[in-house]
């Protein structure tokens, strides 16, 4: 059966829900000016994911990987949350959620690393005269681009004050846009920053890496996420191509357990096969419209 596009039917289903989850991806932040990975203009259209987003890539060419993340870090810092982040933040406060789903708990799971959901939560809290801590916790399962992990001592820290993180990265321009340039071999156009000039640990002097989850690594908060997905009876799938696991499997798990799935995306995706509701269009419009 094809999914419903009725806002009224969606709101009715939401009202009946007891455990709502939202699983978000890069499309959530697209309206904030942050490129997606696989859409038009997405990173993986231009760059080879395996040369940039794996531990092996970092080991082989930390200078190249750091330049990619430097560019993304600067982009995240200069972007602002959009209406879709705000809508999700609103329902993260139990008394706002009660108005649309009186008996429900809500949990937000995001694959995004840009930190915009945390910033939206602070903005919503400030406007409503609340503390961000009054909202339910949310899970950034692929880490945070502003976090740093020391490859020697393992220390994890957040640095949102230094941008760029070091003079050598400040001196690099935007990454080249030739898709072949970063596919592994020909990296001539990219500055070759010596290891000692890349970001280093304040404690032990070790090489720092971005605090994100690369392919082949275990996503964060798995125990908590597995628990809430197993309990969920409504799954909102927002701006993700549903191609990267384990997040790609959450909607089908909810559907298999008898729950409802509502997809918010610009276009049809892998996630649609389980959708009871489908809202095609920019989520910064469709999500607030459907929720409130």
Residues that bind Zn ion (CB under 5 A): 150, 152-153, 155, 201, 203-204, 206
19 labelled as ligand-binding? no
**Interface segment toward ligand BJW; rule CB under 6 A; list 163-171, 180-188, 189-197, 209-217:** 209-217
- Span near ligand BJW by CB under 6 A; candidates 99-107, 150-158, 199-207, 266-274: 266-274
Q: How far is the CB of 123 from ligand BJW (least distance, A)?
A: 19
Query: Is 139 assigned a ligand-binding role in the annotation?
Result: no
Q: Tokens at residue 59, please?
A: 């080991």
Residue-wise DSSP of 166-228: SHHHHT--PPP--TTTTSSS--TTS----GGGS-B-TTT-PBEEEEEPPTTSPPTTHHHHHHH
Residue 206 site contact among Zn ion, ligand BJW, none (CB < 5 to 8 Å, cut-off depends on kind): Zn ion
**Degrees (nearest 5) of the Cα angle 208, 223, 274?**
105
User: Is 166 among the annotated ligand-binding positions?
Assistant: no
Q: How far is the CB of 156 from Zn ion (least distance, A)?
A: 10
Contact 290, 284 (CB under 8 A): no
On the CB side of 12, CA atoms within 13 Å amount to 8
Q: Does 282 bind ligand BJW (CB under 6 A)?
A: yes
Place of tokens 């809290």: 125
Active site amino acids: 142
Pairing of strands 208-212, 19-24: unpaired
- Displacement of CA 276 from its chain's centroid (Å): 23
The response to whether 113 counts as a known ligand-binding position is: yes
H or E, element range at 109:
strand 105-110
For position 9 contacting ligand BJW by CB under 6 A, the verdict is: no
Annotated binding residues: 25-44, 69, 72, 111-114, 150, 153, 201, 204, 239-241, 265-267, 283
Annotated binding residues for substrate: 69, 72
Contact set with ligand BJW (CB under 6 A): 25-27, 30-31, 36-39, 42, 53, 111, 113, 142, 212-219, 222, 239-241, 243-246, 264-267, 269, 282-284
């Amino acid at each position: 059966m094809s999914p419903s596009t009725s806002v009224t039917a969606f709101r009715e289903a939401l009202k009946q829900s007891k455990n709502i989850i939202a699983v978000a991806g890069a499309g959530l932040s697209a309206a904030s000016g942050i490129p997606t990975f696989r859409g038009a203009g997405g990173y993986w259209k231009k760059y080879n994911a395996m040369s940039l987003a794996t531990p092996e890539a970092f080991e082989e060419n930390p200078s190249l990987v750091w330049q990619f993340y430097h560019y993304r870090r600067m982009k995240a810092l200069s972007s602002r949350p959009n209406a879709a982040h705000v809508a999700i933040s609103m329902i993260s406060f139990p008394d706002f959620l009660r108005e649309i789903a009186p008996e429900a708990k809500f949990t937000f799971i995001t694959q995004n690393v840009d930190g915009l959901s945390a910033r939206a939560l602070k903005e919503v809290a400030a406007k409503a005269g609340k503390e961000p801590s009054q909202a339910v916790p949310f899970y950034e399962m692929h880490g945070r681009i502003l976090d740093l992990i020391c490859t020697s001592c393992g220390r994890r820290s957040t640095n949102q004050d230094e941008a760029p993180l070091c003079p050598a990265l400040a001196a690099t321009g935007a990454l080249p846009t030739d898709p072949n340039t970063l596919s592994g071999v020909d990296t001539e156009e990219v500055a070759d920053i010596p290891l000692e000039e890349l970001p280093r640990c304040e404690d032990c002097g070790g090489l720092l890496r971005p605090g994100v989850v690369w392919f082949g690594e275990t996503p964060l908060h798995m125990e908590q996420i597995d628990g809430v997905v197993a309990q969920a009876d409504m799954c909102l799938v927002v701006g993700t191509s549903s191609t990267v696991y384990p997040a790609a499997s959450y909607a089908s798990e909810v559907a298999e357990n008898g729950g409802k799935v509502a997809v918010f995306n610009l276009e049809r995706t892998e996630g649609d096969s389980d959708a009871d509701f489908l809202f095609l269009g920019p989520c910064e419009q469709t999500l607030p419209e459907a929720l409130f």
